[in-house]
């Protein structure tokens, strides 16, 4: 890792993007976006906005909606398709920017950009489908159908862990369905949203259809979610923020999609292919520095293979190379910011106080090449009791709890015994047990012989219990969220025909 700042040039100042214009925040205030692997590098300066910018963006999106909703969906889709091609052309540059602002390693930021590209191509296809229903009417000479209509102005509040993929999950389906949008990127990773929207601009998205307002949750997120003209909100974030946003949305009858926390279990049974399970555990727990909602944070291992599994896991976790994600040989980058690093370290302390066995890691790395970043060692806790806080609460860092179990039923009970239900996994060679797990794991996603991360964009993504409020992103679930059903009856009989309910027998 370089000891000098990676960039010594003056950081670029980014303005809000409202109604196709670059606008400064009225407050005149700004905030810095810094590289978590080397905080001396300022990746960009962004506007610290407030209600005034939110109001201007909502007004612009409202005006743009009047026209955009009437653009035929296949034409809207052409812009999305083109934007995906542009993302593909710029993939390397945008991925490097993402590593600089978020810290995850280049191969993962390339994956993040790829996820946006895949979502774009999938959603562009939806422009020529957007399926509704045609059904027979009760009456002769009458046609009955249900069509999808856009909702209106949508607000997207996006997280820092998938700085481009998650914005794409929200913006692409909303746009193809004919909505207009205001996006508030996470303050740690706004650059990737600017890059994403730049691709949309270059693809020809009309002014006002997509607007970016940067800033802090309480200053931008709150006025955005409370604005009476916003008709739908999509948030990916913590369960605590989700509760606040959900309550606010309910008061004004807004549609609201919440994708929140996880405490994802991986079950390893005695008959599992242990090499495969170990590869999966390492990737699921320490990929993205454990900062995925889908991260493997509990590994529930049957007693027959427990010792061997834990020993081999620890051996391999110790060998992971930590560092700046721009270095292609690095396996794991830093925590995204100081506060996330402190959370990781706090839970490491909690785990030790609870009596779990810390088998490796457990420290901040702060010497030499690490001195300017937020690095935490990959940490494995063994002999964890399922009721411990480290086995119940989302940490969002490179800390994994290994929990011994007696048998399959026990494993499922432990797996389901948390307030979340996003992803889950089981390693077994027994087809009966695999199907039983598919049926009994109460989560939005279940993997058989694969880790809890790595969802594909054309399947529903989301979870049960406090992971969300029942909506799904990805695939057709996203089109369902961003469209309103309208039932249409066309009577071509030329006379008053009464529906069955209104006719005397």
Binding ligand UN1 (rule: CB under 6 A), the pick from 425, 453, 478, 479 is 453
Q: Could you tell me which stretch among 6-14, 225-233, 447-455, 492-500 binds ligand UN1 (CB under 6 A)?
A: 447-455
Residue closer to ligand UN1, measured from CB, 404 or 451: 451
Catalytic member of 293, 377, 405, 473: 293
Q: Tell me how far, at minimum, the Cβ of 335 lies from ligand UN1, in Å.
A: 15
- Between CA 386 and CA 342 the distance in angstroms is 23
Catalytic member of 41, 108, 259, 394: 259
Binding ligand UN1 (rule: CB under 6 A), the pick from 270, 454, 460, 480 is 454
- Between CA 379 and CA 314 the distance in angstroms is 9
Asked whether the beta carbons of 407 and 416 are under 8 A apart, the reply is no
189 binds ligand UN1 (CB under 6 A): no
125 binds ligand UN1 (CB under 6 A): no
Q: Could you tell me which stretch among 8-16, 17-25, 320-328, 448-456 binds ligand UN1 (CB under 6 A)?
A: 448-456
Q: In terms of Cα–Cα distance, which of 393, 228, 381 is closest to 317?
A: 381
135: buried, middle or exposed (CB in 10 Å: 19+, 13-18, 0-12)? Answer: exposed
**Cα–Cα distances in angstroms (integers) from residue 361 to residues 181, 246, 317, in the given order:** 43, 37, 8
450: buried, middle or exposed (CB in 10 Å: 19+, 13-18, 0-12)? Answer: middle
Encoded one letter per residue, x for contact with ligand UN1 by CB under 6 A and - for no contact, window 325-364 reads: ----------------------------------------
162 binds ligand UN1 (CB under 6 A): yes
E strands present in 270-336? 296-302
Size of the site for ligand UN1 (CB under 6 A): 9
Q: In terms of Cα–Cα distance, which of 183, 178, 236 is closest to 206?
A: 178
- Between CA 355 and CA 347 the distance in angstroms is 12
219 phi/psi in degrees, rounded to 5? -90, -30
**Binders in 287-316 for ligand UN1, by CB under 6 A:** 292-294
- Between CA 67 and CA 62 the distance in angstroms is 10
Residue closer to ligand UN1, measured from CB, 121 or 162: 162
Binding ligand UN1 (rule: CB under 6 A), the pick from 191, 455, 478, 479 is 455
192 binds ligand UN1 (CB under 6 A): no
Residue closer to ligand UN1, measured from CB, 154 or 164: 164
14 binds ligand UN1 (CB under 6 A): no
- Between CA 460 and CA 423 the distance in angstroms is 12
Binding ligand UN1 (rule: CB under 6 A), the pick from 25, 35, 109, 161 is 161
- Between CA 127 and CA 73 the distance in angstroms is 5
Q: Tell me how far, at minimum, the Cβ of 447 lies from ligand UN1, in Å.
A: 10
220 binds ligand UN1 (CB under 6 A): no
285 binds ligand UN1 (CB under 6 A): no
460 binds ligand UN1 (CB under 6 A): no
| 405 catalytically annotated | no
Helix or strand holding residue 359 (H, E):
strand 357-360
| Rg of the Cα atoms in the chain | 24
**Cα–Cα distances in angstroms (integers) from residue 281 to residues 267, 301, 308, 376, in the given order:** 10, 11, 14, 18
Residue closer to ligand UN1, measured from CB, 301 or 455: 455
**Binders in 70-99 for ligand UN1, by CB under 6 A:** none
209 binds ligand UN1 (CB under 6 A): no
Residues 6+ apart with CB under 8 A from 450: 280, 425
Q: Tell me how far, at minimum, the Cβ of 132 lies from ligand UN1, in Å.
A: 29
Give catalytic residues, as residue numbers.
Answer: 259, 293
User: Where on the chain is the footprint of ligand UN1 (CB under 6 A)?
Assistant: 115, 161-162, 292-294, 453-455
């Amino acid at each position: 890792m370089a000891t000098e700042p990676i960039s010594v040039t003056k950081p670029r100042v980014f303005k809000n993007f409202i109604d196709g214009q670059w606008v400064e925040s009225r407050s005149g205030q700004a905030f810095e976006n810094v590289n978590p692997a080397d905080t001396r590098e300022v990746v960009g300066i962004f506007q610290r906005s407030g209600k005034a910018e939110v109001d201007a963006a909502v007004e612009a999106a409202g005006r743009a909606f009047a026209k955009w909703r009437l653009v035929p969906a296949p034409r809207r889709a052409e812009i999305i398709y083109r934007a995906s091609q542009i993302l593909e052309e710029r993939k390397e540059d945008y991925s490097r920017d993402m590593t600089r602002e978020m810290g995850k390693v280049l191969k993962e930021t390339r994956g993040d950009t790829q996820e946006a590209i895949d979502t774009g191509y999938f959603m562009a296809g939806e422009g020529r489908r957007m399926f509704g229903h045609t059904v027979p009417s009760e009456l002769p000479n009458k046609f009955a159908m249900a069509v999808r209509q856009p909702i209106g102005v949508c607000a997207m509040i996006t997280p820092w862990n998938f700085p481009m993929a998650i914005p794409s999950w929200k913006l692409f389906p909303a746009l193809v369905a004919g909505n207009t949008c205001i996006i508030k990127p996470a303050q740690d990773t706004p650059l990737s949203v600017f890059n994403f929207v730049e691709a949309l601009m270059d693809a020809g998205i009309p002014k006002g259809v997509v607007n970016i307002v940067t800033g802090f949750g309480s200053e931008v997120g709150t006025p955005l979610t409370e604005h009476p003209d916003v008709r739908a909100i999509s948030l990916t974030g913590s369960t605590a923020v989700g509760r606040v946003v959900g309550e606010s949305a309910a008061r004004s009858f807004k549609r609201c999609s919440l994708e929140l926390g996880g405490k994802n279990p991986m079950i390893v049974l005695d008959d599992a292919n242990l090499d495969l399970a170990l590869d999966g555990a390492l990737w699921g727990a320490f990929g993205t520095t454990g900062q995925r909602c889908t991260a493997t944070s509990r590994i529930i291992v049957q007693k027959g293979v427990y010792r061997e599994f834990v020993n081999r896991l620890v051996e391999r976790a110790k060998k992971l190379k930590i560092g700046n994600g721009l270095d292609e040989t690095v396996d794991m980058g830093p925590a995204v910011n100081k506060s996330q690093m402190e959370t990781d370290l706090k839970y490491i302390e909690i785990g030790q106080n609870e009596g779990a066995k810390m088998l490796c890691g457990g420290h901040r790395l702060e010497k030499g090449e690490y001195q300017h970043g937020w690095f935490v060692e990959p940490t494995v806790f063994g002999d964890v009791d399922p009721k411990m806080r480290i086995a119940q609460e989302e940490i969002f860092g490179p800390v994994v709890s290994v929990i011994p179990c007696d048998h399959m039923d026990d494993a499922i009970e432990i797996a389901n015994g948390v307030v979340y239900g996003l992803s889950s996994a089981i390693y077994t060679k027994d087809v009966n047990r695999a199907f039983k797990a598919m049926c009994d794991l109460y989560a939005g996603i279940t993997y058989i012989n694969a880790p809890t991360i790595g969802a594909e964009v054309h399947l529903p993504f989301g979870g049960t219990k406090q992971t969300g409020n029942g909506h799904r992103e990805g695939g057709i679930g996203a089109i369902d969220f961003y469209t309103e059903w309208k039932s249409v009856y066309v009577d071509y009989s030329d006379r008053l025909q009464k529906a069955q309910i209104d006719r005397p027998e």
